[in-house]
Structure 1
């Protein structure tokens, strides 16, 4: 039964729409509701790799990201949050690609449509965050989301291309 749904793409489209619902719910929460700093402070009491991580400093969306600027736990949380951006859109882009491929039947066209859909949703998600109190929409997050979707799509394209012995 699942094999049939995988072949026609419905299973993957379900995963994609489920991911969209999760993202919508997540972007409707304030920063304080999502913050994991308290949990991280309990989990990482010894502040592992603090000395090494203290040497890292860079700018993201016009703000300095460093332990000196925001503290150890906020610094670690920053990477968890940005990893979540990349990972969720990796799943969304991959799901769209795998779900739409049986319908469109051309890898390049499927990839373009899947990437534009995931990137468009990322932009809408940042707009939704703008409407949520205590959140700030960032173009850099849309770019990160788009990169995650692109990576997932390219990986699926390569795997399917190798499996089916066709790349385009």
Structure 2
């Protein structure tokens, strides 16, 4: 069901571009400029939950992720960084989908285009990082970014469908 594009759709597309610009500048910064370990070391000086977290150990991009390998602050920072990847591309996918859903012939097409735009940008961003000597490009980050975008698109789709269904039910109630 094609809806008439509204001004809000253009706002969401503008937000998607703003998010891409923010991601571009963020990934242009060196790791040292983004390092939050000194802050975490001070803020979490008591190392809360360390006994529980010491049991967590896994591999990401061929590197061990654990308190033993990275230290407490480095371990926590890893999760903050990966949450930032997921969250920023969650927003990017959401903005693209919400901006395109009324401009395309179907939600499926809008979702597919939004996912391709977000995943394509994730790939471009990681490729660009490979040319920066202070950054590491990881295919695992592209997958994480794409998963974030897919999650944002899926939630937006479900909420949009529910909103439309509720709106049509309200119209039916008014005219009875």
TM-score calculated relative to the size of structure 2: 0.89
Bigger radius of gyration among the two = 2
Q: 2:7 aligns with which of 5, 15, 33?
A: 5
SS of the residue aligned with 2:102?
Answer: helix
Distance in 1 between residues matched to 2:10 and 2:39, nearest whole Å: 37
Counterpart in the other structure of 1:81: 81
Counterpart in the other structure of 1:41: 41
Spell out structure 1 runs of 4+ moving beyond 2 A: none
Aligned residues: 161
CA shift, 1:70, in A, is 0.8
SS of the residue aligned with 1:76?
Answer: helix
CA shift, 1:116, in A, is 0.6
What are the residue-to-residue correspondences of 1:2-151 with 2, within 5 Å? 5-6=7-8, 9-151=9-151
CA shift, 1:25, in A, is 0.3
SS of the residue aligned with 1:47?
Answer: coil
For structure 1, the residue ranges without an aligned partner over 5 or more in a row are none
For structure 2, the residue ranges without an aligned partner over 5 or more in a row are 1-5, 167-176
CA shift, 1:131, in A, is 1.5
- Alignment check: 8 A CA contact 1:27 1:132 kept: no
SS of the residue aligned with 1:131?
Answer: coil
- How large is the Cα RMSD of the aligned pairs? 1.2
TM-score calculated relative to the size of structure 1: 0.93
Distance in 2 between residues matched to 1:36 and 1:87, nearest whole Å: 18
Distance in 2 between residues matched to 1:90 and 1:32, nearest whole Å: 25
